[in-house]
Amino acid sequence: MKLTLTEEQEMLKKTARDFLADKCSKTFVKQIEESETGYSRELWQEMAELGWMGLALPEKHGGGDMSFLDLAVLLEEMGRACLPGPFFSTVVLGGLSILDIGSEKQKQEYLPKLIRGEKIFTLALTEPGYHNYDTSSVTVEAAPDDGNYTINGTKLFVPDAHIADYLLCVARTKPKDGITIFLVDAKNPKINYTVLKTIAGDKLCEVVFDQMPIPEANILGRLNQGWSAVQKIIQRAAVGKCCEMVGNIQRVLEMTVDYAKERKQFDRPIGSFQAIQHYCADMATDVDSARFSTYQAAWMLSEGLPCTKEVAIAKAWIGEASQRVFALAHQIHGAIGVTIEHDLHFYTRRAKAAELAFGDADFYREIVAKEMGL
Amino acid sequence: MDFSFTEEQNKLRQEVRNFLEEEIKKGYWEPACDAWVQSFDTGFTKRVAQRGWIGLTWPKEYGGQGRNHVDRLILTEEMLRYGAPAACHWFGDRQVGGAILSFGSEELKKEFLPRIVKGEAYFGLGMSEPGAGSDLASLQTKAVEDGDYYVINGQKTWASCASFANYFDVYARTDPEVPRHRGISEFIVDAKSPGLSRIPMTDITGTEAWNDIFFDNVRVHKRYLVGEKNRGFYQVLHQLDYERSGMERLMGNYPLFEAIIQFAKENKLSQEPVIRNKLAQLQIEFEVGRLLIYRVALVMEEGRAPNWESAMSKAYSTEFENHLAGVAMEVLGPYGQLMSGSKLVPLRGMASHSYLGSKGYSLQAGTTEILKNILAVRGLRLPSS
């Protein structure tokens, strides 16, 4: 057992932190949030040159051949920096899924472009009225049409779809339990995008497919058997979100403790008051426990071990732990923390979005209950 | 990061489980909550000793096995999982032996460590006093030099395991003139010393949980001074880090956890969404706490005393134990109030016992408030209040 990073991971962490400190200031984040695309093409290309898109993808496709655990370290740093853009969509939802279930031909076609930063990917899974990532909530239909398929229906909360080159679209191909994933050219004129205005300032979209034809060759994985792949994608995405959240709340703890040391009232730093000290202690406990449970899940996923329970524990825990952290962070920061000039809101807004993404605490508690045999 | 155990560690865990299951099968004892601190069974302690499972991390020259802190955590985790009656050796194994190893003279090490390892020397603690709880440095018990001896006078309280202890690890003031942290020393005192007397105290579960210990001109030879004179307060801080470090803070009432899950399953209560949700939340909290405690063992393995890390894990974990006891009472409904021995009592009375007992979990070995102070000031470097 070892709960520290390897030397290589420490280096990756440091490189990422330095790079993002330089390139991803809060002024930049604000600017990107207000932009239409929600990312900077220039920064995207630099990240590709650093090898980040391909970090956990095979060398033969141009990747870095590192593990999901290594990627976890990078995601943590991105969470810490509030990095805007389609990295999560492209790599965690797109690239790793293609690696998992794509044919050799599909991998050769798509992964090198993804790794070079040329193409953006995302996952179109959830829909209006969806409930708890359940197979029955997939109603977008891909109807067989002369050996090919026609996709119809609306996907919702699809991250970065408006700028994506490819969508991994989860569609129903058989009335009961027949789910198939299609790799869709996102620029097809039969697809309509509306960018939603979100709490995190990220770009979640409504995606409407209107009689869009798609060749059978674009099926990713197995026809009608896609749901187990979707579950794995959700699981990995949940852990990925946890990693970002660890970076987020770690930074918020540091900001809050620093503030408690500097801010004076009654002629002394507020951090010398026991009430504030105990709040900070509670925050640190939530942050450390979230970190260990997250990395446990990431490690198991990385090792290919069965980890349904551990992933559920990590996401259920961090969802609620992060909300406790923010309640206290705001309380300690006082009024300055609720102003738009202060940086805290960048974290507050993202943490709420991440809590909801890929299953909240109630969703995962039910999974834990099942794993306990209840 | 690596969350796996070595093959050797998995083997150790299995050996401990086999041993404990065999013990239960033979009817030697029943799993019980708080058995690590309340169930005294010299036979059990000797059988554990025969397997080399006391002083597991200590050097071989003193009878230990030279194994690492994660190994020991695996061992104690299993002891607690089965609610094993380990109270005779727990304190010596967990902290007093370690204190002697860290600070004691060679003579003290040779006298005590092999006997703890063999399951022959049982320790109680003489730290708290009626006027010195969280503020331990204000303790008033005095030790005055008299030739080759110290003469101890005063009163200690909340001494766990005191009825069965043959020795006490006692902190007393040896220099009243200096600032109070710098005038305290640590002694090993024979429980049979003339002038030492005990009065048992009963806790709200009805258990004899502690003793008051009175020292009336108790003479202790100077060779039983542990470490340097007047350095006792710094030594006790070190020892408390270890006292707080372990799995007993999370798993003190673990037998209740297993029992209430089983009960909910058997009575179909686990189909009820509210109960499912509560039990799953407990499981999540338990597994998260377990990681915080393994972190502490890894800190020790790096050769550091776990300080704010064990304050964190202990504060977190006793909250889990309290939560568990509360949920168990809720799941049992009106049956929860029945005490051991009553007609219709469920789960052998573990829930009501644990509910009452859990009120002390967040007080012993440092209150949650003191632990949060430690975490804030020493871990996060916030200014002292």
Number of Cβ atoms within 10 Å of the Cβ of B38 = 19
Q: Is residue A1 domain-resident? A: no
**Domain B7-121 classified CATH 3.40.50.1100?**
no
Token digits of residue A250: 């770690």
pLDDT of residue B72: 97
pLDDT of residue A146: 87
What is the interface pTM, i.e. ipTM, of the complex?
0.96
pLDDT band at B222 (very low <50, low <70, confident <90, very high): very high
A274–B373 C-beta distance less than 8 A: yes
Of A178, A129, A176, nearest to A149 by C-alpha is: A178
Which fold does the domain B244-379 belong to in CATH? Butyryl-CoA Dehydrogenase, subunit A; domain 3 (1.20.140)
The three state secondary structure string of chain B is: CECCCCHHHHHHHHHHHHHHHHHHHCCCCCCCCCHHHHCCCHHHHHHHHHCCCCCCCCCHHHCCCCCCHHHHHHHHHHHHHCCCCCHHHHHHHHHHHHHHHHHCCHHHHHHHHHHHHCCCCCEEEECCECCECCCHHHCCCEEEEECCEEEEEEEEEEEECCCCCCEEEEEEECCCCCCHHHCEEEEEEECCCCCEEEEEEECCCCCEEEEEEEEEEEEEEHHHEECCCCEHHHHHHHHHHHHCCCCHHHHCCHHHHHHHHHHHHHCCHHHCHHHHHHHHHHHHHHHHHHHHHHHHHHHHHCCCCCCHHHHHHHHHHHHHHHHHHHHHHHHHHHHHHCCCCCCCCHHHHHHHHHHHHHHHHCCCCCCHHHHHHHHHHHHCCCCCC
Token digits of residue A179: 């789910």
Give the predicted TM-score (pTM) of the model: 0.96
Q: Are the C-beta atoms of B166 and B190 separated by less than 8 Å? A: yes
B280–A366 C-beta distance less than 8 A: yes
Whether the CB of A173 is below 8 Å from some CB of chain B: the reply is no
Q: Are residues A358 and A233 in the same domain?
A: yes
Mutate to test the interface with A, among B382, B384, B385 (most CBs of A within 10 A): B382
Using CB atoms, pick whichever of A1, A285, A299 lies closest to residue B294.
Answer: A1
Q: Are residues A66 and A133 in the same domain?
A: no
Q: Are residues A57 and A127 in the same domain?
A: no
B372–A300 C-beta distance less than 8 A: no
Distances (CA, A) of B72 to A137, A179, B129, B241: 48, 49, 31, 16
Q: Are residues A150 and A270 in the same domain?
A: no
Q: What is the CATH number of the domain that holds A153?
A: 2.40.110.10
Q: Are residues A156 and A282 in the same domain?
A: no
pLDDT of residue B385: 78
pLDDT of residue A56: 98
Going by their DSSP bridges, the two strands A264-265 and A141-145 should be labelled as: unpaired
Domain boundaries, chain B: 7-121, 124-230, 244-379
Mutate to test the interface with A, among B288, B298, B313 (most CBs of A within 10 A): B288
A362–B70 C-beta distance less than 8 A: no
Using CB atoms, pick whichever of A284, A293, A317 lies closest to residue B380.
Answer: A284
pLDDT of residue A136: 86
pLDDT of residue A133: 85
First CA to last CA distance, chain B: 36
pLDDT digits (tens, 9 = 90+) for B48-96: 999 999 999 999 999 999 999 999 999 999 999 999 999 999 999 999 9
In angstroms, what separates the C-alpha of A6 from chain B's closest C-alpha? 7
Contacts of B316 in chain A (CB under 8 A): 285, 289
pLDDT of residue B170: 98
pLDDT of residue A137: 87
Contacts of A288 in chain B (CB under 8 A): 292, 295, 312
Q: Are residues A277 and A334 in the same domain?
A: yes
Overall average pLDDT of the B345-365 stretch: 95
pLDDT of residue B305: 86
Which residue of A lies nearest to B73 if distances are taken between CA atoms?
A1
Q: Are the C-beta atoms of B241 and B310 separated by less than 8 Å? A: yes
pLDDT digits (tens, 9 = 90+) for B274-319: 999 999 999 999 999 999 999 999 999 998 889 999 999 999 999 9
Q: Are residues A128 and A86 in the same domain?
A: no
User: Running along chain A, 374 residues long, what does each successive block of 10 average in pLDDT?
Assistant: 96 98 98 97 98 98 98 98 98 98 98 98 93 86 93 98 98 92 98 98 97 97 96 97 98 98 98 98 98 98 97 98 98 97 98 96 97 96
Whether the CB of A288 is below 8 Å from some CB of chain B: the reply is yes
What is d(CA B80, CA B261) in angstroms, rounded to the nearest whole number? 17
First CA to last CA distance, chain A: 30
Q: Are the C-beta atoms of B92 and B116 separated by less than 8 Å? A: yes
Which residues lie closer than 8 Å to A19 by C-beta, 6 or more apart? A46, A50
In angstroms, what separates the C-alpha of B229 from chain A's closest C-alpha? 33
Q: Are the C-beta atoms of B241 and B94 separated by less than 8 Å? A: no
For A347, the domain range is 228-371
pLDDT digits (tens, 9 = 90+) for B94-122: 999 999 999 999 999 999 999 999 999 99
Contacts of A267 in chain B (CB under 8 A): none
Q: Are residues A133 and A216 in the same domain?
A: yes
A 178-207 → B contacts, CB under 8 A? none
Q: How many domains, in total, are found in chain A?
A: 3
In angstroms, what separates the C-alpha of A20 from chain B's closest C-alpha? 23
The arrangement of secondary structure in B124-230, i.e. its CATH architecture, is Beta Barrel (2.40)
Q: Is residue A2 domain-resident? A: no
Q: Are residues A97 and A210 in the same domain?
A: no
